[in-house]
Structure 1
Amino acid sequence: MTIEWYKHGERSEVSMLWIINGKKVKNILLIIIAAFVAALILFVQKQETSVFAPIDKSGALSRVETNQKHLALTFDSNWGDQQIKLILETLKAEKVKATFFFSGEWAERHSDIVKEVLKDGHEIETQGMRHEDYTQLSVEETRRDMLLSREAIYKACGVRPELIRPPYGKINKEVLQTMSALHLQPVLWSVNPQDETNPGYEAIVRQVLKDAGKGDIIRLHASDSAKQTYRALPLIIREMKNRGYTFVTIKDLVSDAQTKHRLLD
């Protein structure tokens, strides 16, 4: 593109290349700015959605060292759909958030309940696909089970678990290494009233109230085999609240605290 004019009878041409180049520079600057803004947004989102990072590659989380009167209710669920409904009703009535560890197979069969758990504001994590003892499986079998469970839960509710509770609480170095490679944080517990044995709801309450304190992780069950947990739950919640405690999810419990692990030799 040129501009033509006549001066003293002569025709002159001025190249407009500098204008075109100027436009190119402007477009490049706009692209750079847009890319920077997009990268900044992704960074912020990552900080917000990936608050929880694996605590320690060498151990499983069993409690949290904290000065705050916070503790976590957790529920294992891999069989039936009646008890969990009663437990969800209680948690909603008491305005308490908890962490649920589902097996992948259970989540596939009960995606409606899994979605309800998420809608109520609870944390959803995994307990393996088929709830098998990982210490009796090969490394590849264990890895496959973990991956399948994570995807099954994702398909059920749109959330990929970051925490895993090893089935039956059984774990060894190989299992820990497999979990670490998949960026899954193993979570055990520090308070276990063995409610799945149905010792009586009063016995469940007594055991929890006796053992629970700051930073503890309470293990309960939401499977139909645990028939007394729903009766014990409101008594546990109300008494701990009376003692000044607040129930939070595992990730919230960990977020601002120094963690304490059950380390394996």
Structure 2
Amino acid sequence: MRHIWVLNGKTLKYYALATVAALFAASFLYASQAYIPAFSTDEGPRAFHRAEIDEKKAALTFNISWGDKRALPILEILADHKVEEATFFVSASWAERHPDILEKINEAGYTIGNHGYQYEHYTEWEESEMMRDLNESHRKLKEVGGIEPVYFRPPHGDFDERVLQAVDRFGYSTIHWSVGGSDWKNPGVETIVKDITENTEPGDVILLHASDSAKQTHKALPVILNDLSEKGYQLVSLEELITDGEAKTQEIK
């Protein structure tokens, strides 16, 4: 069972200040890196799922863990549609193999999040294994692209309370999603478009894939972007969505 909480901006700022000192004290555990504090509460670590807002804002996110054929066309589509805000969660082992694509994502001004090093289920690992993978992925992304991500999306989107606690202790904020995520199954362009456009609501985090296994996403993306634009949606950064959002707790089974 997964527990996901959405935090509002004021809450995030409050807990960010409250946790800085504690994270500084623990920083010797990862002395070779500079980590950004995660947001924790008295009830435990929380993952961002969606924001409760009225404005037609949504965050567009992509996962990449394999291949070099789909990411560049997706970047071109985003540029053609003048999409300035998107987040790419990249596997660090993928980034090692394709530093040129990582550089293009970074140069385009998009946020880069950590998607782990080994593409394995964190829920099946001991905490020491999670920490090792987090440390290795963070180090590699900094080494390959000069990037120090602050957001983490577990491989396969698979997490439980143990994973959230480990990610929080490491210093990341865990990001889930509320719309999409099935495009990697290649269900058909029309189905992908329908899945996003008919279900997106204000505050949603949209998930698509830019790995080579997602063979139809680049065809669906222009239609999705046009539809959202026609409906008056603005694609914003995760940071803006988190800041604008109101606290909400939702249990996902």
TM-score grouping bracket, smaller chain normalisation: 0.7 to 0.9
Q: Pick from 43, 51, 61: which aligns with 1:64?
A: 51
Task: Give the equivalent residue in structure 1 for 2:102.
Answer: 114
Secondary structure class of the residue paired with 2:180 = coil
Rounded Cα–Cα distance in structure 1 between residues aligned with 2:174 and 2:250:
10
Rounded Cα–Cα distance in structure 1 between residues aligned with 2:245 and 2:37:
12
Residue 250 (structure 2) pairs with residue 250 (structure 1): no
Rounded Cα–Cα distance in structure 1 between residues aligned with 2:250 and 2:37:
19
Task: Give the equivalent residue in structure 2 for 1:197.
Answer: 185
- 1:59 is displaced (CA, Å) by 2.5
Rounded Cα–Cα distance in structure 2 between residues aligned with 1:131 and 1:54:
24
Q: Deviation string for 1:213-247 (max 9, x for gaps)?
A: 10100111000000000000010011101100011
Task: Give the equivalent residue in structure 1 for 2:86.
Answer: 98
Q: Pick from 43, 47, 54: which aligns with 2:39?
A: 54
Mean Cα deviation higher: 185-194 or 136-145: 185-194
Gap change, CA 1:239 and 1:264, over 3 Å in 2: closer
Residue 60 (structure 2) pairs with residue 73 (structure 1): yes
Secondary structure class of the residue paired with 1:202 = helix
Task: Give the equivalent residue in structure 1 for 2:12.
Answer: none
Q: Name the amino acid aligned to 2:125.
A: L
Q: Deviation string for 1:145-198 (max 9, x for gaps)?
A: 011111111112212111111111111121111111011111111002500000
Q: RCO greater where, 1 or 2, for CA within 8 Å and sep 6 or more?
A: 2
Q: Name the amino acid aligned to 2:237.
A: T
Residue 160 (structure 2) pairs with residue 172 (structure 1): yes
Q: Pick from 74, 84, 87: which aligns with 1:87?
A: 74
Secondary structure class of the residue paired with 1:124 = strand
Secondary structure class of the residue paired with 2:49 = strand
Rounded Cα–Cα distance in structure 1 between residues aligned with 2:195 and 2:147:
33
Q: Name the amino acid aligned to 2:58.
A: L
RMSD: 2.0
Which structure is larger by alpha-carbon Rg, 1 or 2?
1
Query: Which 4+ residue blocks in structure 1 deviate beyond 6 angstroms?
Result: none
- 1:248 is displaced (CA, Å) by 1.4
Question: What stretches of structure 1 of length at least 5 have no aligned partner?
Answer: 1-49
Task: Give the equivalent residue in structure 1 for 2:219.
Answer: 231
- 1:51 is displaced (CA, Å) by 10
TM, length-normalised to structure 2: 0.80
In the alignment of these two chains, the number of paired residues is 216
TM, length-normalised to structure 1: 0.77
- 1:120 is displaced (CA, Å) by 0.5
Mean Cα deviation higher: 252-261 or 67-76: 252-261
Rounded Cα–Cα distance in structure 1 between residues aligned with 2:165 and 2:206:
25
Gap change, CA 1:262 and 1:166, over 3 Å in 2: farther
Residue 159 (structure 2) pairs with residue 159 (structure 1): no
